[in-house]
Amino acid sequence: MTVEIDRNSGFCGGVIRAIDGAERILAEGGVLFSLGAVVHNESELARLRSKGLVTVSLDDISSSSSSPAPDKAPVSGDAKTLLIRAHGEPPQTYRIARERGWEVVDFTCPVVLNIQKSIREARAAKGNGQIVIFGKIGHAEVLGLVGQVGGDATVVESLSQLQEAVASGKIDLQRPVDIFSQTTKSPVEYEQICGYLSAQMEGTSLLTIHNTICRQVASRHKELSEFARSHDVVVFVSGRESSNGRVLSDLCKSVNPRTYRVENASELDPSWFRPDDNVGVCGATSTPKWLLEEVAGQIKNLH
């Protein structure tokens, strides 16, 4: 059995920037608080927790009494540093944090920052316009995007949801529409959604399509399809909470039915493999290289 790790898998640039920043601050000593999980991968979070990173919620930083869950360090005191992760946050989060005395270090991905700016500019330019976002409802990045216009945006997770929003009048095709995508969504699905709106609004100049899927993520779809197709078995490594992990693992599964998603090496099942298999190991933009190597090493030891 041969095992190959996908050379293109691993952290995206935004996640690398946030984790490098967190480790740099932690190396100076003390505790650093992350607003939400800095990466959707429990194995990597455990590694960062061992270095002193503490994950807190908006309720934690908003509370004057500052009493987080029992497994967290106390968030009271004078020196409180809060990390904003790559997903970004709405403007009100920064206001709340500073009002409560937090020092904010912002590691929002530059790609996400540009989308946030574009959404604000679209609203300013078209007072009666509508903002539509293709993304996962409730996802941290999407909440940050919606927050740029005070929540006045429509989020759709699929073409069927978009069609329902149009049919119900929630999206009015007689008014300007600016459509954006969460950075990690499927380029194929976004193309379908934009194609539907283009067909419905043909002959008007009311639709503006913004190409906001991260280029690094978009190229991964083509590369990963080829990687999955070229192996007998694919083991996809990602956290259960990773939206990008779900999209990419589903992509692998559509190309190669013998695709299995795991969080770590302990979830591997020997029955998945045959002695003469060529196995490919790959992962999400939130999966660290060290974890891919650990899983690949365990697979090699199965036979």
Active site residue ranges: 141
Residue located via tokens 């004078």: 78
Tokens linked to 154: 């429509």
CA count, 13 A, side-chain hemisphere, 128? 6
Q: Is 257 exposed, middle or buried (0-12, 13-18, 19+ CB in 10 A)?
A: exposed
Give the H or E element holding residue 223. helix 215-229
Strand boundaries in 78-129, DSSP class E: 81-84, 103-106
What does 134-192 look like in DSSP terms, one character per residue? ES-TT-HHHHHHHGGGTT--EEESSHHHHHHHHHTTSS-TTS-EEEEE-TTS-HHHHHH
- Per DSSP bridges, beta strands 177-181 and 207-209 are parallel
Distance CA 303, CA 294 (A): 16
Joined tokens for residue 152: 């006045």
CA distance 188 to 295: 29
Judge contact between 217 and 276, C-beta under 8 A: no
Determine how many CB atoms are found less than 10 A away from the CB of residue 109: 22
Return d(Cα 223, Cα 63) in angstroms, integer: 45
